[in-house]
């Protein structure tokens, strides 16, 4: 497996795609000292322009990026519907992959990606960057230690207004794995599964309010054998914000701006407020990839975990 050198040595990265998420991810990446070798695009002129803008050493086609001997890891920032094809091809080329969430648009695609990574002995990681924020480590510890008693209910919400002027947005294209459940609902599902495990039943509603072929407003209830419930909601049609509430027998935990913190992150435990330093969770995500590749430290968000998330989303939208 690639990555037998010193754990402190930076990895050499390539980026598949030039979309907006790359610009959100890049400042954290730069802070790690990792090396950005190349940016790939279907259009060579666009690739060269993106490389100049993003500070990569060169722009390439996707195929050239896969074939590059000086790239260890690929960040797959393509639209959802292209994640499976290009992540599998990257694994076949011997590259580790950090793939944007959701890992793929279906359970079967996730399984194929995981199998390819295992077959070619490379790492596949789903880019749920929020999991690397120290605030969530504290939340998980509080629950595990029983600080609020047995959990009875989890509420997780993530939604925003996707303007009418964004009619051509990839999030609204069924052929590219669009929809609110895949774009932001996946955060809620990932979180609930991390805290509670796999549900015994999923009852949901997914509404295509714009007539574009994908859900734009959706909610679901996940039921667990011991009577624990989780409520998840997402939207492109309403500014739901991003919040998580975990209710136990003896108290509750609230996580405002749960997935994309704003300002000084807070954690509300009953009447108490715990504040955390401002950190870049994308930076922490990239550093975790380095530890995974160089030292074998397990990922918090392995690609294999995405299979269960897509199973829930499929039941939710059915």
Q: For residue 133, what are its two tokens?
A: 């924020």
Residue 101 annotated in active site: yes
Contacts of residue 296, defined as CB under 8 A and 6 or more positions apart, other chains included, come to: none
Q: Is 236 left (phi over 0), alpha (psi -120 to 50) or beta?
A: alpha
Collapsed DSSP state (helix, strand, coil) of residue 292: helix
Helices 83-92 and 107-119: angle between axes, nearest 10 degrees: 10
Please say whether the dihedral angle defined by the alpha carbons of residues 144, 149, 152 and 157, taken in this order, is positive or negative: negative
By the 8 A CB rule, do 253 and 233 touch?
Answer: no
Please name the residue ranges forming H helices in the chain: 20-31, 44-54, 62-67, 83-92, 107-119, 134-144, 180, 186-196, 281-295, 306-317
**Rounded distance, CA 255 to CA 267, Å?**
5
Q: For residue 74, what are its two tokens?
A: 């690929």
The answer, yes or no, to whether the previous bond of 102 is cis (omega within 30 of 0) is yes
Please give, one letter per residue, the 3-state secondary structure of 118-172: HHCCCCEEECCHHHHCHHHHHHHHHHHCCCCCCEEEEEEEEEEECCHHHCCCHHH
Q: For residue 161, what are its two tokens?
A: 């207004």
Question: Which of 95, 96, 101, 131 is the catalytic position?
Answer: 101
**Closest to 84 in 3D by CA, of 111, 47, 53, 65:** 111
Cα 17 to chain centroid, rounded: 16
Residue 298 DSSP class? P
| Active-site residue list | 101
């Amino acid at each position: 497996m690639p990555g037998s050198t010193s754990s402190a040595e930076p990895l050499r990265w390539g980026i598949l795609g030039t979309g907006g998420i790359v610009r959100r991810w890049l400042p954290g990446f730069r802070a790690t000292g990792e090396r950005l070798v190349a940016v790939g695009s279907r259009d060579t002129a666009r690739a060269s322009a993106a490389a100049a803008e993003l500070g990569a050493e060169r722009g390439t086609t996707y195929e050239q990026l896969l074939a590059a001997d000086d790239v260890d890891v690929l960040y797959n920032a393509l639209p959802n519907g292209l994640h499976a094809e290009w992540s599998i091809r990257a694994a076949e080329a011997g590259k580790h992959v950090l793939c944007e969430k959701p890992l793929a648009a279906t359970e079967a695609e996730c399984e194929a990606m995981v199998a390819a990574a295992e077959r070619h002995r490379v790492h596949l990681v789903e880019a749920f960057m929020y999991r690397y924020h120290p605030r969530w480590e504290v939340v998980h510890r509080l629950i595990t230690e029983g600080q609020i008693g047995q959990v009875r209910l989890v509420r997780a919400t993530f939604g925003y207004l996707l303007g009418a002027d964004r009619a051509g947005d990839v999030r609204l294209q069924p052929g590219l794995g669009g929809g609110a459940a895949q774009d932001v609902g996946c955060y809620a599902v990932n979180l609930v599964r991390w805290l509670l495990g796999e549900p015994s039943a999923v009852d949901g509603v997914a509404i295509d309010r714009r007539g574009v072929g994908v859900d734009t407003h959706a909610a679901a209830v996940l039921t667990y054998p011991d009577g624990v419930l989780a409520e998840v909601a997402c939207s492109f049609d309403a500014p739901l914000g991003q919040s998580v509430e975990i209710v136990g027998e003896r108290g509750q935990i609230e996580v405002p701006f749960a997935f994309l913190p704003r300002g000084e992150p807070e954690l509300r435990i009953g009447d108490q407020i715990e504040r955390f330093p401002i950190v870049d969770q994308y930076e922490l995500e990239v550093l975790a990839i380095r530890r995974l590749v160089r030292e074998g430290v397990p990922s918090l968000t392995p690609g294999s975990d995405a299979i269960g998330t897509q199973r829930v989303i499929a039941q939710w939208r059915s």
